[in-house]
Structure 1
């Protein structure tokens, strides 16, 4: 699955290709994983990537380690939004096809206590975080 995502992200034009320190494809994988795991800012994504660097190194090279939040922010601002949207849509489609073909995605859900509507006590809302995609 990671190879398929990297192939999709290789189609995105790198705005810093002549001076890039980090591989754009790998950075976009880190960003995608961070977003899928609930990270909301570039600082959160950079912290998430650094905290899971050992796991990411199992599937990515990360020649210069994980990028800083400044690097992530700068690169995301310079990317063509249409290109990025197209690549992300292709990645999500590939993940969906993988799951439909029999792959298993393990999730850990939690019931939200005392978060039910009056009369709906038997139907507690659930939250299901996607904690690990790779």
Structure 2
């Protein structure tokens, strides 16, 4: 659930219902590295789980994970460009818009 919420947030999704919809839209891709025997959780489940997570502790753990990734990759990271994430591009090239990347 953390992975879905983080990926969705990076893609600009805000709220538990849109996070669930993001998960459903990306379920095929997510299933290449996550197992969901009961499918993508409902927005109610996302809300209940995240209500029990300490924001301070989550920030500490997330920051430590990012530092570990930075160390393991020897500082070589994939940049995330906000314009790309928001699908900000020239429509003249004929690229189709997708609400979830």
* Fold similarity call, TM over 0.5: yes
Which ranges of structure 1 fall in alignment gaps of 5 or more residues? 1-26, 110-125
Out of 67, 75, 95, the residue aligned to residue 100 of structure 1 is 75
**More helix by proportion, 1 or 2?**
2
1:58 paired to 2:14: no
Paired residue total: 86
Aligned twin of 1:11: none
Per the TM alignment, residue 99 of structure 1 is displaced from its structure 2 partner at its CA by 7.8
Aligned twin of 1:38: 12
- Normalising by structure 2, report the TM-score: 0.68
Pairwise mapping of residues 1-134 of structure 1 onto structure 2 (< 5 A)?
Answer: 27-97=1-71, 98=73, 100-101=75-76, 103-104=77-78, 127-129=83-85
Per the TM alignment, residue 53 of structure 1 is displaced from its structure 2 partner at its CA by 0.4
- Normalising by structure 1, report the TM-score: 0.53
Which ranges of structure 2 fall in alignment gaps of 5 or more residues? 88-101
Question: Compared with structure 1, are the counterparts of its residues 80 and 104 closer, same or farther at alpha carbon in structure 2 (3 Å cutoff)?
Answer: closer
Per the TM alignment, residue 38 of structure 1 is displaced from its structure 2 partner at its CA by 0.7
- Report the aligned-residue RMSD: 2.6
Larger radius of gyration: 1
